[in-house]
Amino acid sequence: MKLTLQKRLAASVMKCSPKKVTFDPASLEDIKEAITKQDIRSLIGEGIIKIAPDKGVSRARANKTKRQKRKGLRRGVGTRKGKKTARTPKKRAWMNRVRSQRNFLKRILEKGVVTHDIYKDLYAKVGGGFFRSVKHIQIFMDERSLVSKDRTVKGSDASASASPAKATKPKAAPKKAKKQEE
């Protein structure tokens, strides 16, 4: 059954493309008899001829990506665009590095691991960008033996107290070994 005339008339009445016009499959005989615009208007009024809804683009994939990003995912090397300094500006990276180094120096001065003179010297080096990281300061201090001998912290080794990492607890013996002992 050829209904191209009816599609064209319906499209002109509804002001849309003929591709968007849909016919009710149960009423194809009534549609075939409609040859004027007035007939088409009456069929539109009865709901036999309709416009197909717009398809649009699904947001499901975009929403899934957004949820993943909220969790902190999708930040790997393959996702990044631009230089490293585009994501973290040079100044911000510098500020983070210098602040952590200065905090480290402050801690070891308060603990008495270094003297005030050594502290001032290291502080100046930090400000001048001499050290790459806190670890680099520790290596520098160990190589030059800058840890004060007379001022050990609470009887512990002075070089151990210079490291910011907390002392690790000895690992507990496995449960199987405890059961065998009993």
Residues contacting 138, CB < 8 A, separation 6+: 162, 163
Q: What is the model's pLDDT at position 158?
A: 43
3 Cβ contact list (under 8 Å, min separation 6): 23, 28, 31, 32
pLDDT at 105: 98
Spelled out in words, what is the top-level CATH class assigned to the domain 4-51?
mainly alpha
Q: At what angle do helices 116-127 and 134-144 cross, to 10 degrees?
A: 130
> Which pLDDT value is given to residue 144?
94
- Both tokens of 139, joined, read 């290596």
β pairing state of 21-23 and 49-51: antiparallel
SS3 label, residue 58: coil
Find how far residue 74's CA is from the centre of its chain.
Answer: 6
Q: Residue 138: what residue type?
A: Q
Domain-by-domain residue ranges, the chain?
4-51, 87-162
pLDDT, residue 42, reads 96
C-alpha distances out from residue 1 to 5, 51, 71, 107, Å: 11, 20, 56, 89
Three-state secondary structure call for residue 23:
strand
CATH class of 87-162: mainly alpha
Model confidence, pTM: 0.49
How crowded is the C-beta side of 27, counted as CA atoms within 13 Å? 15
Predicted confidence at residue 150, as pLDDT, reads 61
Instruction: Identify the pLDDT of residue 159.
Output: 46
| pLDDT tens over the chain, length 182 residues | 899 999 999 999 999 999 999 999 999 999 999 999 999 999 999 999 999 999 899 999 999 999 999 999 999 999 999 999 999 999 999 999 999 999 999 999 999 999 999 999 999 999 999 999 999 999 999 999 998 766 543 333 444 445 545 555 566 655 655 556 55
Distance, CA of 164 to CA of 145 (rounded, Å): 17
Nearest to 22 by CA among 6, 2, 45, 33: 6
Tell me how far apart the alpha carbons of residues 132 and 135 are, in angstroms, rounded to a whole number: 8
